[in-house]
Amino acid sequence: MAQKQIHFIGGGQMAEAMIRACIANNTLAADEISVTDVNEARLQLLSDKYKVNTGSSQEYGLSAASIIVIAVRPQDNLAALGELVQKHAAPAATIVSIVAGVTIAQLGGYFGAERPIVRVIPNTLTDTGYGYSGVALNSYADRDQVEDFLLGFGKVQYLDEGYIDIFTGYGVAGPNYIYYFIESLVDAGVLAGLPREQAWNVALENMMGAVTMLRQTGLHPRQLLDINNSPGGVGMHGLYELNNSDFAAGLQRSVLAAVKRTTELGVKK
């Protein structure tokens, strides 16, 4: 991307994942990134590992930045950060918030309602090139201001803010469901008698191949299930037991519980 200074307020795990991916994908250079954090050990780690600027003051980082990433906890003092931003940042500098549960309206109250504000729910697959981040914009922000930066750590889906909680519980928490399914499937292979390494390799290969088949054919999963299962065959017997286990409804309840918890966190803020 063109020379843009990105200033991170907060250098925790998610901020590090975003920085790591952007540098690895050459969408940002280390000298385009500055970070401040109350934890000196985190700053030292980020400086040593990624060569980003962690030595400048908050005031300098804000004054030089075209994008300011708010990467703190919801319970941190956002009002105080807002005062610093409004005092030292350029009026056109874009706020990118990854703070869970804090709405665009609340962010506008802290950082200036007429400033470009982008609320981002980052994906957790930053190092893979897969996974969508959910993004909502206020009326002063547009995609061109942030898209190059956001694409540095995955794909992007732009959403009405009303969908953000759903996206968090379904999309961002999504890898949890996949990891748990694969773990359970591997255990099933071991239970049936396969060595764990073989069961692991088969599960991963089947997962990747099934996703590729869906993408390549454009078919609905039910259509592929029909193709893959002969009457009275092995696969149908396995699916029958899976249906009896309440698998689909259990997964759906899990997603709804995650969405509900996301909404609760927002209300608490």
Q: State the CATH number of the domain containing residue 138.
A: 3.40.50.720
CATH number at residue 198: 1.10.3730.10
Q: Is 11 annotated as a binding residue?
A: yes
In a domain, 1, yes or no: no
- Spell out the residues 6+ positions from residue 9 whose beta carbon is closer than 8 angstroms to its own: 36, 37, 58, 61, 68, 69, 70, 71, 72, 81
> Which tokens go with 151?
């694409």
Helix (H) or strand (E) holding 70: strand 67-70
Other CB atoms within 10 A of residue 80 CB: 10
What pTM value is reported for the model?
A: 0.86
Q: Is 10 annotated as a binding residue?
A: yes
Count of the separate structural domains present in the chain:
2
Report, as an integer, the average pLDDT of 9-28.
95
What does each C-alpha distance from 121 to 35, 64, 258 come to in angstroms?
19, 25, 14
Q: Do 145 and 186 reside in the same domain of the chain?
A: no
Q: Do 11 and 120 reside in the same domain of the chain?
A: yes
Of 110, 127, 23, 45, the C-alpha closest to 72 is 110
Confidence of residue 80 (pLDDT cuts 50, 70, 90): very high
> Which tokens go with 85?
């931003």
Domain boundary among 159, 187, 220: 159
Q: Is 253 annotated as a binding residue?
A: no
Q: Is 74 annotated as a binding residue?
A: yes
pLDDT tens digits for range 153-194: 999 999 999 999 899 999 989 999 999 999 999 999 999 999
Q: Do 97 and 125 reside in the same domain of the chain?
A: yes
In a domain, 67, yes or no: yes
> Which tokens go with 13?
């795990």
Other CB atoms within 10 A of residue 166 CB: 17
- Spell out the residues 6+ positions from residue 240 whose beta carbon is closer than 8 angstroms to its own: none
More confident residue, 127 or 62: 62
Q: Do 143 and 181 reside in the same domain of the chain?
A: no
pLDDT (0 to 100) of residue 2: 47
Q: Is 35 annotated as a binding residue?
A: no
Report, as an integer, the average pLDDT of 85-95.
96
Q: Do 86 and 176 reside in the same domain of the chain?
A: no
In a domain, 262, yes or no: yes
In a domain, 239, yes or no: yes
Strand partners, 242: none
Q: Do 117 and 190 reside in the same domain of the chain?
A: no
pLDDT (0 to 100) of residue 264: 81
Report, as an integer, the average pLDDT of 242-246.
91
Q: Do 32 and 114 reside in the same domain of the chain?
A: yes
Q: Is 221 annotated as a binding residue?
A: no
Q: Is 12 annotated as a binding residue?
A: yes
Q: Is 9 annotated as a binding residue?
A: yes
d(C-alpha 69, C-alpha 123), whole Å: 15
Per cent of the chain over pLDDT 70 is 97
